[in-house]
Copies of this chain bind each other. A is one copy, B any other.
Amino acid sequence: MTDSCIIRHFEHYAELGQDDRELLDSLEKTPKDFSKGQLIWQQGMESDHFYTVRSGWACSFRNMEDGSRQVQDLYVPGDIVGLREFAFRRRVSNLLTVTNTTLCPFPKNRLTDVFSTSRLLCNLFFLIAARDQAILVERLINLGRRTAREKVAHFLLEMAHRLDKACMDVHDCNHLPLTQVLLADALGMSTVHANRTLNELKQESLTALGPDGITLLDRDGLKDVAGFDPEYLDADVEGLLKNIGAPASSQPA
């Protein structure tokens, strides 16, 4: 059997039985390649699929009336994109590739079949949804109650940490392929201010800025700046598996 994208994703958490593997494999469609800067879906379109990210980065965002933009989340290899839209007939935001990207589509309305068929997968999907919420909450706190310095440092650390866990084909988890425009739109600040803040951190040798993105040079230093605690990124998979009586993965999350 091929190791489809979503199977790899779930085996990251737990050991799947043959049934589960076949189920997922039958539902995942062939991967699709997208080039950098491509708009994958738009607000208002019918939300019939979600995607797993096989490689590359993407972001979801909303265009505001005044022409500005709010980036809601970034997606790295291993992430599932569009689970949010389970509750809605139409897409509530736009999705854009940040780099060249390969995505694996999965039909949304088949999710209910998965829930019925596999106790394990059902619970894992729910766990993922809960972790997604935790990420959103942390971003909320970032926007609401942190200074620009803290925002930037915190966000960079979060993405690096998420890359750490995703690390499938990713070489250097300290390098983030983000433009400053994107960073600013994710953190609700102006590009100019993002730039100044980033250069401030660069002066302190905490980050490096290149034409191909941002590099974290000193995670501990950044952690001091941001007060970063990665707990919200570490879902308690073991506890869940124990509760539902499933075997843990040999390759812990």
Contacts and interface: CB of A to CB of B under 8 A. Distances in A.
Given A88-B236, A89-B236, A133-B132, A70 B243 contact: no
Best-buried of A72, A92, A145, A146 by chain B (most CB within 10 Å) = A145
A127 interface: yes
A78 to B, nearest CB: 16
Interface residues of A, number: 54
Nearest to A235: B87
Contacts of A133: 83-84, 129, 132-133, 136
A41 interface: no
A84 B134 contact: yes
A143 interface: yes
A62 B146 CA distance: 12
A91 to B, nearest CB: 11
Interface of A: 62, 64-65, 68-70, 72, 83-89, 92-93, 109, 111-112, 115-116, 119, 122-123, 125-134, 136-137, 139-141, 143-146, 187-188, 227, 231-232, 235-236, 239-240, 243-244
